[in-house]
């Protein structure tokens, strides 16, 4: 093993080796795209253990996806020639869940808690709003949930949020926040944000516990640090501030999750918050050709708020980037798929898996899917309907959740009459009312079904049988493995029989349930090793741990690079992946970057970072496509090329037009769906999107560009008077605003017709 580590050190470039050999004290590694950061992280862990004799149990390594955590453990194991037993490697959420399983009683929960995903959390918000009489039409539950999520990630508790609420929307959120959190406690459940927040609360409230974990984790390493939010950063600082042996690895140029709470200032200001920080830049790229990197460097150099670095490579020049102008989204999709087909036919060594189609919004996938289907090209979408979000899977998991956690009211509601057992809506409402009056959980109340006033004898008996069945499986769960328990549950409850009666989709649904059972058995096979290596709580049942694992699976964990199919995904989902050939579609102002980004400098910089991420996914070739027109919400919108294309040097680009656009251009330069309009040429020689032959572009000065509005801005309507913008949706001529008017309350207006004036 010593020879293996020594050989690996010798293979590192100077900057990588500096990062690996760093021992004590804070270390900030700015790792450019494709610079081998995972190699540096894992080699450093092996070096700490082998060279400095650090106990693996003293190391905590945190990353953002289960896939990355698994890869990290595998590489460390290979370097050491043995398991790094006792070392904690995982995502922030999985490590938070592990801490809470061990110490849930200290925050008022039990170790068998349920983890609510986004859908379950949203359902809880809806129920809370319904109980409070808050209208969903006026206050959308998703907006309320997003506000509560933001508050949690900023470590703002319900009482503090209530004190800070100074407008109508935030005061409404404050009314929901407290009872929503109370409902989670009543159901012994945490939402995803709680997995980040509660560990911080736990450590802050219990000094001895914090001291014990600080003593244990003498070396803390954090991957993708640019994506941390306030709660995650606070958790890391709590553990590492005292000893200072904190290594953070990230790329400020790839910080793209500000919309969900990530704070790029965490990495930008790290060296100020941790005096004595050693800063190392990894700028040698091992993924992309030189032209791709030069384009990426030119794009990201436009950003102001960054530490600054320049990617370099020893690879050859490679192909130029191809910039393609298309007529509309259908033409765009047809051209992309025809190009894939052409490349596959010309190069027999190419396979569909080597192509990825990236887009800014999920809605763009529709036309791309249509074109792929028509050409018979295999494809898979990452970020579509997840396996665990399928209705039949959620039904089965609800059974498992209620068996694991009898206080889970959402799970109870979902399955109490599935498959049908004669407990209708009226009976369920009587059960809920009586349970509330008696201060009982729904399952406790069901155990006394025939005691409930006005409950029919048949429904009461059915409730008692249902409760007895859950209790029976709960007793088995303490002794049985997850696979055996799940197989018996599916058979005893009659789920497969119920699904088989549903018609054309029955077979697929039945197979999905069987796949879930198979997955549970696979988990059981891995569980002994997981308990030993990951230091899992000994008293947690296989069922509890199985539910925890699947609740933390993300879209990116489901990406299978071996699947021989073209991959479709959003640019956000693509982060951390790489492909030989990359298409980035929809490069038009208003779509990428999104229109609202122009109102906030930081938002525009984040959109540009997203484009940089897209370019740097490519190893060999990048295609950039934009359309002259695109349908949005059923209306055809004239488009102009994205401003993000402008910094790319001319010599790096090959410009092309689709055949359809060339045909149109022979007579006309524009087609608006009703009548052609003659070309009105405007000389713009400095524009990199202009044709190098004639330097001419269409004049878009009469396009319907929406007024630049921003959420929270004050405006005046000619009829409704002054008000505050609460929500913005849509694009272009379909842009809509929800405005809280001072005199007439909340209204939803279409901006193009509203004649809004900004109040300065």
Active centre residues (catalytic): 37-38, 223-224, 254, 617
Antiparallel, parallel or unpaired: β 757-758 and 714-717: antiparallel
> Where is 532: in which H helix or E strand?
helix 506-533
Hey, what are 701's tokens? 């000065």
Euclidean distance between CA atoms 610 and 613, whole angstroms: 5
> Where is 10: in which H helix or E strand?
helix 2-11
Q: Report yes or no: 124 and 418 within 8 Å, Cβ to Cβ.
A: no
* Residue 15, CA distances (Å) to 9, 139, 278, 388, 610 in order: 11, 52, 12, 42, 26
Q: Report yes or no: 643 and 684 within 8 Å, Cβ to Cβ.
A: no
Q: Report yes or no: 614 and 574 within 8 Å, Cβ to Cβ.
A: yes
Euclidean distance between CA atoms 483 and 405, whole angstroms: 18
Euclidean distance between CA atoms 38 and 25, whole angstroms: 20
Q: How many alpha carbons fall within 13 Å on the CB side of residue 540?
A: 28
Q: Report yes or no: 19 and 35 within 8 Å, Cβ to Cβ.
A: no
Phi-psi region of 724 (alpha: psi -120 to 50; beta: other; left: phi over 0): beta
Of the candidates 190, 127, 126, 120, which has an alpha carbon nearest to the alpha carbon of residue 394?
120
Q: Which residues does 550 contact at the CB level (< 8 Å), separation at least 6?
A: 388, 397, 519
Distance between first and last Cα of the chain: 68
Q: Where are the beta strands (DSSP E) in 540-592?
A: 566-570, 579-584
Total Cβ atoms within 10 A of residue 122: 17
Hey, what are 252's tokens? 């400020």
> Where is 758: in which H helix or E strand?
strand 757-758
Question: DSSP string of 272-294?
Answer: HHSTT-EEEEE-B-SSS-HHHHH
Of the candidates 625, 618, 619, which has an alpha carbon nearest to the alpha carbon of residue 645?
625
Euclidean distance between CA atoms 140 and 685, whole angstroms: 48
Q: Report yes or no: 141 and 125 within 8 Å, Cβ to Cβ.
A: yes
Hey, what are 515's tokens? 């796949």
Of the candidates 313, 303, 321, which has an alpha carbon nearest to the alpha carbon of residue 253?
303
Euclidean distance between CA atoms 388 and 117, whole angstroms: 10
Of the candidates 702, 665, 733, which has an alpha carbon nearest to the alpha carbon of residue 327?
665
Handedness of CA 484, 486, 490, 496 (dihedral sign): negative
Helix (H, G, I), strand (E, B) or coil at 355: strand
Q: Report yes or no: 227 and 262 within 8 Å, Cβ to Cβ.
A: yes
Q: How many alpha carbons fall within 13 Å on the CB side of residue 298?
A: 18
Euclidean distance between CA atoms 401 and 410, whole angstroms: 9
Of the candidates 757, 708, 755, which has an alpha carbon nearest to the alpha carbon of residue 728?
708
Euclidean distance between CA atoms 34 and 285, whole angstroms: 5
Euclidean distance between CA atoms 714 and 723, whole angstroms: 6
What is the rounded radius of gyration, in angstroms, for the C-alpha atoms of the chain?
Answer: 28
Antiparallel, parallel or unpaired: β 27-31 and 246-250: parallel
Phi, psi of 460 (to 5 degrees): -60, -45
Rounded to 5°, the CA angle 675-676-682 comes to 140
């Amino acid at each position: 093993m010593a020879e293996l580590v020594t050989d690996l050190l010798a293979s590192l470039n100077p900057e990588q080796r500096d990062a690996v050999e760093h021992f004590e004290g804070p270390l900030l590694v700015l790792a450019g795209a494709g610079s081998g950061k995972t190699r540096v992280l894992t080699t450093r862990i092996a070096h700490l253990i082998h060279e400095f004799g650090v106990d693996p149990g003293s190391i905590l390594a945190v990353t953002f996806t289960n896939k990355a955590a698994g890869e990290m453990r595998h590489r460390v194991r290979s370097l050491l020639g043995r398991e790094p037993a006792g070392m904690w490697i995982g995502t922030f959420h999985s490590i938070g869940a592990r801490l809470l399983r061990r110490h849930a009683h200290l925050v008022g929960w039990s170790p068998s808690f349920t983890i609510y995903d986004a859908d379950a959390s949203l359902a809880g918000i809806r129920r809370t709003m319904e109980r409070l009489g808050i209208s969903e039409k006026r206050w959308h539950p998703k907006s309320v949930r997003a506000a509560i999520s933001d508050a949690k990630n900023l470590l703002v508790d319900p009482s503090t949020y209530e004190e800070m609420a100074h407008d109508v929307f935030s005061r409404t959120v404050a009314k929901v926040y407290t009872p929503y959190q109370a409902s989670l406690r009543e159901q012994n459940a945490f939402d995803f944000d709680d997995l980040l927040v509660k560990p911080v609360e736990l450590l802050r409230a219990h000094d001895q516990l914090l001291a014990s974990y600080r003593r244990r984790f003498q070396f803390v390493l954090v991957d993708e640090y640019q994506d941390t939010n306030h709660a995650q950063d606070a958790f890391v600082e709590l553990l590492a501030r005292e000893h200072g042996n904190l290594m953070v690895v990230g790329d400020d140029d790839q910080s793209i999750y500000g919309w969900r709470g990530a704070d790029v200032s965490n990495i930008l200001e790290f060296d100020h918050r941790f005096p004595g920080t050693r800063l190392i830049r990894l700028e040698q790229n091992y993924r992309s050709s030189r032209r791709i990197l030069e384009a990426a460097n030119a794009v990201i150099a436009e950003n102001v708020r960054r530490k600054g670095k320049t990617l370099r490579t020893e690879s050859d020049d490679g192909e130029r980037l191809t910039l393609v102008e298309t007529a509309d989204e259908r033409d765009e999709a047809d051209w992309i798929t025809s190009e894939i087909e052409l490349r596959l036919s010309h190069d027999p060594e190419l396979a569909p898996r080597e192509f990825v189609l990236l887009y800014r919004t999920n809605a763009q996938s529709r036309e791309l899917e249509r074109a792929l289907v028509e050409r018979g090209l295999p494809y898979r979408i990452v970020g579509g309907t997840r396996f665990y979000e399928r209705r039949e899977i959620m039904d089965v998991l609800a059974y498992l959740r209620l068996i694991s956690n009898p206080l889970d009211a959402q799970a109870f509601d979902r399955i109490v009459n599935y498959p049908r057992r004669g407990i209708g809506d009226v009976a369920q409402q009587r059960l809920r009312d009586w349970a509330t009056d008696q201060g009982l959980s729904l399952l406790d109340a069901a155990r006394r079904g025939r005691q409930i006033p006005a409950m029919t004898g048949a429904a009461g008996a059915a409730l008692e049988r249902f409760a007895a069945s859950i209790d029976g499986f709960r007793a088995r769960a303490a002794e049985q493995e997850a696979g055996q328990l799940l197989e018996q549950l599916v058979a005893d409850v009659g789920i497969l029989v119920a699904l088989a009666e549903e018609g054309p989709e029955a077979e697929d649904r039945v197979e999905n349930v069987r796949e879930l059972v198979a997955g549970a058995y696979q988990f059981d096979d891995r569980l002994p090793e997981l308990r030993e290596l990951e230091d899992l709580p000994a008293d947690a049942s296989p069922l509890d741990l199985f539910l925890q694992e699947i609740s933390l699976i993300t879209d990116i964990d489901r990406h299978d690079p071996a699947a021989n199919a073209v991959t479709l995904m959003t640019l956000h989902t693509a982060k951390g992946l790489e492909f030989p050939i990359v298409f980035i579609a929809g490069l038009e102002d208003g779509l990428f970057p999104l229109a609202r980004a122009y109102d906030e400098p930081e938002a525009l910089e984040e959109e540009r970072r997203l484009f940089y991420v897209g370019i740097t996914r490519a190893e060999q070739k990048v295609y950039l496509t934009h359309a002259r027109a695109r349908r949005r919400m059923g209306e055809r919108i004239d488009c102009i090329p994205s401003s993000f294309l402008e910094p790319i040097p001319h010599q790096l680009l090959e410009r092309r037009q689709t055949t359809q656009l060339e045909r149109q251009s022979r007579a006309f330069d524009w087609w608006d769906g009703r009548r052609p309009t003659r070309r009105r040429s405007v000389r713009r020689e400095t524009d990199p999107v202009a044709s190098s032959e004639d330097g001419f572009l269409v004049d878009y000065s009469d396009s319907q560009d929406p007024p630049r509005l921003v959420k929270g801005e004050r405006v005046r309507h000619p009829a409704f008077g002054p008000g505050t913008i609460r929500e913005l949706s849509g694009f272009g001529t379909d842009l809509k605003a929800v405005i809280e008017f001072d005199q007439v309350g909340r209204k939803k207006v279409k901006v193009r017709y509203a004649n809004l004036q900004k109040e300065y």
